[in-house]
């Protein structure tokens, strides 16, 4: 696993290839397309929903099923406005912006070097003859809304910009009802909203996105140990799910990058097509959040250890990941093009656990009882693992379609099946085919799904 930047600065798949595949195969569409689209907003199609569900399912598995020190929560998107005062988001969650009075565009002051003015020929903002830039002003990234029928300042609220605060404000409830004591974690998956100025790179940075965050509460003197623990665990999660280790790195934040709440943060970065970029942050938030919410709410947010008689505010380690960013990384890492028998084959080499469909059941031709037999096989599999039945078009085309969706196994019912009760099992990655009995097929595939898997693209 790389701890340093490698010489490579670009991954092999281009973003255009990935966007085209996602559209072509029904993973992700630009939102509101029939109205011309809204910038940087996407809708997930059938296979996108299944893939994202698997990403979230694997996160829950690693947080809940495989551990006994974490509990789940699902907090509201609209919370008391004071939450965001206490958290520091009202005062400090902003980017410095400059406006151009001529073209009316707004730019992040710290990104001006890479921005383009709205007028032709394209120039950097401020370099065109008519550009008139304002001084930099702070622009808060939270989406504001009104709650209830009266639109005044008392009804003003925000869409949450992170899921984390919904966990802190429930600390006391969880402590009382979940029978936990530090060290323990509270995990949540849910939508967050940020009025990002610079969006882009497909689903990498959008204004509406989903986060997977876990706040791990521990005794203050154990914080560093747990920070190390969670950095290693989270790196392992990505590599266990097939991301090639050479495409990941762990980068500690410099002092000037740290958020207001953090004493130490490391980002897991992935080699996206636009270069290494943040996939997940793992922060040591200290006692900042519980102390702030105690101050603003007047509630005591601390832990009393009845054994030792000690009372303390736990420190918090936070692995904070994005569902959309992780999904993009899994797709980019899996995307592959190869030549097979003189023809190009595009294939998503997804970890079988993430693949939207695990097995495709295909009659070789749509006659001679094959579709009926294939339907029977499909019915016997679909309740056990994600399956798809497809009988339209040539078998070659159907294989190619499943390859692009990332389906790890294909089961073909042919003329001999009626005689030998066997099918041909095709492997997406090796293209190996073997004749296997229908009896025990589901068990065979479930056993394969449980096997360790490494990307065939791994170095
Ligand atoms: N609670 C800490 C927190 O929210 P963050 O680094 O701002 O930290 C955590 O966000 C993760 O959420 C990021 O690593 C990224 O995966 C995802 N994320 C943040 N902003 C995003 C955006 N505008 N679009 C897509 N994903 C985003």
In angstroms, what is the span from residue 415 Cα to ligand 1's centroid?
A: 53
* Cα within 13 Å of Cα(359), Cβ side: 26
Q: Nearest residue CA, atom 7 of ligand 1?
A: 162
- CA distance readout (Å), 383 to 132, 294, 450: 63, 49, 17
Residue 414 pLDDT grade (very low, low, confident, very high; cuts 50, 70, 90): very high
Q: Residues 106-130: what's their mean pLDDT?
A: 84
Find out whether the beta carbon of 162 lies less than 6 Å from any atom of ligand 1. Answer: yes
pLDDT of residue 102: 87
| Tokens matching residue 57 | 């399912």
pLDDT of residue 158: 96
pTM for this predicted structure:
0.93
List, for residues 253-298, the tens digit of each pLDDT value.
998 888 888 889 999 999 999 999 999 999 999 999 999 999 999 9
Q: Nearest residue CA, atom 22 of ligand 1?
A: 205
Find out whether the beta carbon of 206 lies less than 6 Å from any atom of ligand 1. Answer: yes
Q: Residues 294-315: what's their mean pLDDT?
A: 96
pLDDT of residue 128: 86
- 371: closest CA among 418, 334, 335? 418
User: What does the alpha-carbon distance between residue 115 and residue 175 come to, in Å, rounded to a whole number?
Assistant: 48
User: What does the alpha-carbon distance between residue 304 and residue 297 come to, in Å, rounded to a whole number?
Assistant: 19
User: What does the alpha-carbon distance between residue 348 and residue 338 come to, in Å, rounded to a whole number?
Assistant: 11
Task: Round the CA-based radius of gyration of the chain to a whole number and report it.
Answer: 25
List, for residues 198-235, the tens digit of each pLDDT value.
778 999 999 999 999 999 999 999 999 999 999 999 99
For residue 211, the ligand 1 atom closest to its alpha carbon is 12
Best residue among 207, 209, 267, 272 to mutate for probing ligand 1's pocket (most ligand atoms within 8 Å of CB) is 209
pLDDT of residue 11: 53
pLDDT of residue 278: 97
**Across the chain, what does the average pLDDT equal?**
93
Q: Is residue 320 scored above 80 in pLDDT?
A: yes
User: What does the alpha-carbon distance between residue 171 and residue 441 come to, in Å, rounded to a whole number?
Assistant: 47
List, for residues 7-52, the tens digit of each pLDDT value.
444 457 899 999 999 999 999 999 999 999 988 899 999 999 999 9
pLDDT of residue 7: 44
Hey, CA dihedral for 339, 342, 344, 348, is it positive or negative?
A: negative
- CA distance readout (Å), 103 to 65, 97, 130, 157: 53, 15, 9, 31
Find out whether the beta carbon of 205 lies less than 6 Å from any atom of ligand 1. Answer: yes
**β 387-389/359-363 pair status:** parallel
DSSP helix/strand/coil, 19:
helix
pLDDT of residue 459: 64
- 320: closest CA among 266, 394, 356? 266
| Tokens matching residue 257 | 């990058």
List, for residues 387-398, the tens digit of each pLDDT value.
999 998 999 999
pLDDT of residue 31: 95
* Cα within 13 Å of Cα(106), Cβ side: 12
Find out whether the beta carbon of 69 lies less than 6 Å from any atom of ligand 1. Answer: no
Q: Which residues contact 92 (CB under 8 A, 6 or more apart)?
A: 260
Q: Residues 338-355: what's their mean pLDDT?
A: 94
In angstroms, what is the span from residue 193 Cα to ligand 1's centroid?
A: 10
Find out whether the beta carbon of 234 lies less than 6 Å from any atom of ligand 1. Answer: no
User: What does the alpha-carbon distance between residue 205 and residue 37 come to, in Å, rounded to a whole number?
Assistant: 16
């Amino acid at each position: 696993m790389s701890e340093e930047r490698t010489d490579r600065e670009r991954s092999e798949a281009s973003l255009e290839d990935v966007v085209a595949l996602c559209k072509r195969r029904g993973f992700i569409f630009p939102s509101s397309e029939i109205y011309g689209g809204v910038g940087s907003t996407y809708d997930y199609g059938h296979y996108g929903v299944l893939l994202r569900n698997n990403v979230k399912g694997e996160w829950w598995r690693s947080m809940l099923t495989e551990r006994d020190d974490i509990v789940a929560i699902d907090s509201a998107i609209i919370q008391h406005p004071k939450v965001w005062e206490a958290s520091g988001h009202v005062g400090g969650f902003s980017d410095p912006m400059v406006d151009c009075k001529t073209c009316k565009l707004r730019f992040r002051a710290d990104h001006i070097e890479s921005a383009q003015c709205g007028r032709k020929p394209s120039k950097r903002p401020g370099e065109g003859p008519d550009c008139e830039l304002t001084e930099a002003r702070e622009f808060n990234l939270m989406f504001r809304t009104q709650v209830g029928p009266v639109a005044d300042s008392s009804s003003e609220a925000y869409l949450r910009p992170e899921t984390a605060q919904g966990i802190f404000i429930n600390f006391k409830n969880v402590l009382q009802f979940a029978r936990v004591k530090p060290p323990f974690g509270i995990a949540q998956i849910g939508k967050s909203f940020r009025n990002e100025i610079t969006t882009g790179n497909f689903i990498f940075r959008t204004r509406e996105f989903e986060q997977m965050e876990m706040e791990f509460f521990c005794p203050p003197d154990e914080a560093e140990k747990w920070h190390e623990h969670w950095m290693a665990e989270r790196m392992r999660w990505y590599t266990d799910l097939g991301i090639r280790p050479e495409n990941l790195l762990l980068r500690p934040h410099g002092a000037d990058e740290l958020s207001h709440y953090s004493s130490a943060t490391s980002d897991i970065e992935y080699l996206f097509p636009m270069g290494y970029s943040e996939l997940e942050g793992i922060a040591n938030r200290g006692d900042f959040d519980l102390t702030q919410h105690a101050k603003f709410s007047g509630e005591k947010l601390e832990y009393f250890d009845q054994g030792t008689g000690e009372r303390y505010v736990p420190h918090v380690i936070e692995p904070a990941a994005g569902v959309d960013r992780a999904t993009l990384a899994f797709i980019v890492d899996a995307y592959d093009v190869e030549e097979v028998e003189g023809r190009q084959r595009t294939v998503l080499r997804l970890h079988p656990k993430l693949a939207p469909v695990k097995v495709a059941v295909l009659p070789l031709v749509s006659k001679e009882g094959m579709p009926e037999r294939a339907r029977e096989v499909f019915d016997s599999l679909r309740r056990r693992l994600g399956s798809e039945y497809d009988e339209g078009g040539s078998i070659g085309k159907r294989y190619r379609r499943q390859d692009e969706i990332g389906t790890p196994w294909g089961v073909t019912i042919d003329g001999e099946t009626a005689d030998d009760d066997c099918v041909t099992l095709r492997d997406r990655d090796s293209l190996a085919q073997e004749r296997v009995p229908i009896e025990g097929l589901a068990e065979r595939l479930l056993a394969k799904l449980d096997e360790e898997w490494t990307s065939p693209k791994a170095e």
